[in-house]
């Protein structure tokens, strides 16, 4: 196999975005596009006070792509300039993925009970956590609860149900965030007195998260 | 009950302040303090119970404010105690990310047994989560902590570590005070464990 054979799919997938990957629903999506989605999800996750919809499918595609690239690179000369560039790109992608998942774990650990309660009331299609994450969240909740029981709660007299409720940590959904509108969004309600603002595509705003959370979920705006 | 000018919940608040002030990674678990707080909670509760019983038989409301006050003290005690425990848990979790699945021996002596159990369970469940990501491929989330700036970094070896095999099969000897130019991704753990030092 000549060297150009190895390089071709790599550079296509990375830079031209012409390389197309088959997705389950017969939908064609470029590796470039996947990376963009993952990066946006990462950025939103880092900025949002609450946990957002998981992107397990996209992550899986991305990881597959990374593995594929690694495989291709094995046969390359280590001192080739292109090798270094590709390797660096891979490291960046890996960092984005790891950072994204870490950020989610941190939210899960902080708001465990709150998130689990919310997940219970959601439909299967609207679950925010992936299957692995909800398993982890459940284990974590049990672990913390068991620890508290063991060390302190069992010695406290007259523990009431209401007090367990008081211990739930909730995210502050009204904290202000920076957003950028991806498309024109007319008549967004801001503030309590039904004041409305039209967001033009590309414009940037500071606004309490809760007022625009649905725009983030619909990808009409993103957090910056 | 009243001792000098000590107030209710003083001890519980003290616990938190001590933890906050300490410069150690994790100060020793204050077994005695925790027990004292729990005893105080119990004492307050029993006193309240006795007087509340008195109130319900005689209907005498003069002690009502006192009951409320004690209840508030009780809640504060509980809250401070749980905060103390929770803050320690956060530090224990940080250990897992920093040192991996085994607690360093010198820190282990500071933990109480339930805390060690917590750590082990936490460690196990984190590990199985990391293994399950991406269709069973697994990712080590405790790596890649900082955005990558360059592929290779210059490191100095702080202790005699011995042989270290790189991913491509090359074996290098890490001797004390020797300097190497190595792939960042592969030596990151060693840097975090303090075996190598990143020099610029």
What digits encode the pLDDT tens for the residues A168-180? Answer: 888 888 888 998 8
Q: Is the pLDDT of residue A15 over 50?
A: no
pTM attached to this predicted model:
0.79
Using the predicted structure, report yes or no on whether residue A27 has a pLDDT greater than 70.
no
- Cα A26 from chain centre: 24
State the average pLDDT over residues B16-21: 84
Number of C-beta neighbours around residue B165 at 10 A: 10
Query: Is a pLDDT exceeding 80 seen at residue A101?
Result: yes
| pLDDT over 50 (residue A2) | no
Distance separating alpha carbons of residues B14 and B129, to the nearest angstrom: 37
Distance from CA of B158 to the nearest CA of A (A): 26
Kindly report the CATH number that applies to the domain delimited by A172-224.
Answer: 3.40.5.60
pLDDT digits (tens, 9 = 90+) for B132-145: 876 666 777 777 67
Angle, vertex CA A44, rays to CA A41 and CA A49, nearest 5: 135
Domain ranges of chain A: 3-110, 172-224
Beta bridge pairs of residue A205:
A179
pLDDT 10s digits, A62-97: 888 888 888 887 777 777 777 888 888 888 888 888
Residues near B11 by beta carbon (within 8 Å), at least 6 away in sequence: B33, B36, B37, B40
Opening angle at CA A113, ends B42 and A46, nearest 5: 130
Say yes or no to pLDDT of A48 above 60: yes
Collect all residues from B whose CB is shorter than 8 A from any CB in A. Answer: 34, 38, 41-42, 45-46, 78, 81-82, 85, 89, 93, 112, 114-115, 117-118, 121-122, 125-126, 129, 132-135, 137, 139-141, 143-144, 146-148, 150-151, 184-185
Q: Is the pLDDT of residue A14 over 70?
A: no
Fold topology of B152-199: Ribosomal Protein L9; domain 1 (3.40.5)
Closest CA to B122 of A28, A35, A73, A108: A108
pLDDT at A71: 83
Domain ranges of chain B: 10-135, 152-199
Q: What is the pLDDT of residues B35-58, one digit of tens each?
A: 888 888 888 888 888 877 777 777
The number of angstroms, rounded, from the C-alpha of B69 to the middle of its chain's C-alpha atoms is: 33
CB A31 within 8 A of CB A65: yes
CA distances to A151, B46, B70 from A156, in Å? 10, 11, 15
pLDDT at B5: 60
In this structure, are residues B165 and A125 in contact, taking their beta carbons and an 8 Å threshold? no
Burial A193-223 (b: 16+ CB within 10 A, else e): eeeeeebeeeeebebbbebbbebbeeebbbb
Name beta bridge partners: B154: B181, B199
Percent composition of chain A: helix, strand, coil (DSSP 3-state, to 5)? 60, 15, 30
Chain B residue with CA closest to A55: the answer is B134
State the pLDDT at residue A6: 36
Instruction: Give, in words, the CATH class of B10-135.
Output: mainly alpha
In the predicted model, is pLDDT for residue B4 greater than 60?
no
What pLDDT score was predicted for residue A159?
63
Of the candidates B34, B45, B82, the beta carbon closest to that of A157 is on B45
- Out of A91, A155, A158, the one facing B151 most closely (by C-beta) is A91
CATH number of A3-110: 1.20.58.1030
Query: In sequence order, what are the beta bridge partners of A197?
Result: A188
Chain A residues near residue B41 by CB distance under 8 angstroms: 155-157
């Amino acid at each position: 196999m000549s060297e150009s054979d190895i390089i071709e799919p790599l550079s296509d997938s990375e830079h031209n975005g012409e390389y197309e990957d088959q997705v389950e629903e017969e939908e064609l999506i470029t590796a470039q596009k996947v990376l963009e989605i993952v990066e946006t999800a990462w950025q939103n996750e880092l900025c949002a006070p609450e946990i957002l919809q998981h992107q397990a499918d996209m992550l899986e595609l991305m990881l597959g792509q990374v593995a594929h690239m690694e495989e291709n690179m094995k046969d390359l000369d280590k001192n080739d300039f292109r090798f270094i560039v590709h390797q660096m790109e891979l490291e960046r992608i890996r960092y984005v993925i790891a950072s994204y998942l870490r950020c989610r774990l941190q939210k899960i650990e902080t708001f465990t009970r709150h998130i689990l309660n919310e997940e219970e009331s959601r439909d299967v299609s609207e679950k925010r956590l992936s299957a692995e994450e909800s398993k982890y969240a459940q284990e974590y909740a049990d672990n913390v609860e068991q620890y508290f029981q063991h060390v302190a709660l069992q010695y406290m007299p007259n523990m009431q149900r209401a007090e367990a409720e008081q211990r739930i940590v909730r995210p502050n959904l009204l904290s202000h965030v920076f957003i950028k509108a991806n498309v024109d969004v007319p008549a967004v309600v801001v503030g309590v007195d039904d004041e409305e603002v039209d967001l033009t595509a590309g414009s940037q705003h500071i606004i309490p998260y809760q007022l625009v959370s649905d725009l983030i979920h619909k990808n009409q705006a993103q957090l910056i | 009950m009243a001792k000098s000018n000590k107030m209710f919940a003083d001890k519980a608040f003290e616990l938190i302040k001590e933890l906050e002030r300490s410069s150690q990674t994790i100060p020793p678990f204050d077994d005695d303090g925790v027990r004292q707080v729990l005893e105080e909670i119990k004492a307050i509760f029993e006193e309240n119970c006795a007087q509340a019983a008195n109130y319900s038989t005689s209907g005498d409301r003069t002690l009502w404010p006192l009951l409320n006050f004690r209840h508030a003290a009780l809640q504060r005690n509980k809250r401070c105690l749980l905060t103390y425990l929770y803050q320690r848990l956060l530090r224990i979790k940080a250990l897992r990310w920093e040192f991996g699945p085994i607690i360093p021996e010198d820190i282990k002596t500071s933990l109480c047994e339930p805390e060690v159990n917590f750590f082990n369970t936490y460690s196990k469940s984190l590990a199985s989560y990391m293994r399950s990501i991406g269709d069973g491929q697994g990712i080590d989330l405790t790596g890649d902590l900082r955005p990558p700036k360059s592929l290779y970094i210059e490191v100095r070896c702080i202790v005699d570590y011995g042989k270290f095999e790189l991913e491509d099969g090359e074996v290098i000897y890490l001797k004390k005070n020797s300097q190497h130019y190595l792939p960042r991704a592969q030596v990151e753990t060693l840097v975090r464990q303090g075996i190598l030092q990143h020099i610029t």
